[in-house]
Amino acid sequence: MSEIPKLYRILTQTEAAMITADTTTDMTELEAKALAQKDIIAPNGNYQPFVLIPICTEFQWRYGQINFCPRCGKNICESVGGDYLEGVTDYLEFDCPECEATMFVHIISTPEEANSIDVEDRN
């Protein structure tokens, strides 16, 4: 099965600073790595190795996919009910596998979703 393109969070650091960047479009892990090396990490920046964290697909982000535990930040998308294949999990009750807190999360709407609805209503 081929890799499903997703949004990625890119983290890198030096001894004095930490840089966090998010991709704005779906891409494969190899594309995200190339982007990080080309556009984010300065050639002589003395950065430690960078990290790519998959978030979700661009469609899922736009419509409120629940990706991370609100308490500890663990990416819970695959482990507690979200998926990268289809649909949007915007309503979720789960026990976080990292911090063991019981959560109930409901993303009612997102700015992207609201804006796309406004555009559709005008047509």
DSSP-based three-state secondary structure for 32? helix
pLDDT at res. 118: 47
Percent of the chain with pLDDT over 70: 83
Taking the C-alpha atoms of residue 54 and residue 60, their distance in angstroms, rounded to an integer, is 12
Average pLDDT over residues 7-14: 89
Q: Which of 36-45, 55-64, 94-103 is the most confident on average?
A: 94-103
Q: Rounded to an integer, what is the distance from CA 99 to the centroid of its chain? A: 19
- pTM to 2 decimal places: 0.66
CA distances 123 to 17, 69, 93, Å, are: 47, 37, 36
More confident site: 99 or 43:
99
At the topology level, CATH places domain 1-55 in Ubiquitin-like (UB roll) (3.10.20)
Higher pLDDT, 25 or 73: 25
Q: Where are the domains of the chain?
A: 1-55, 59-123
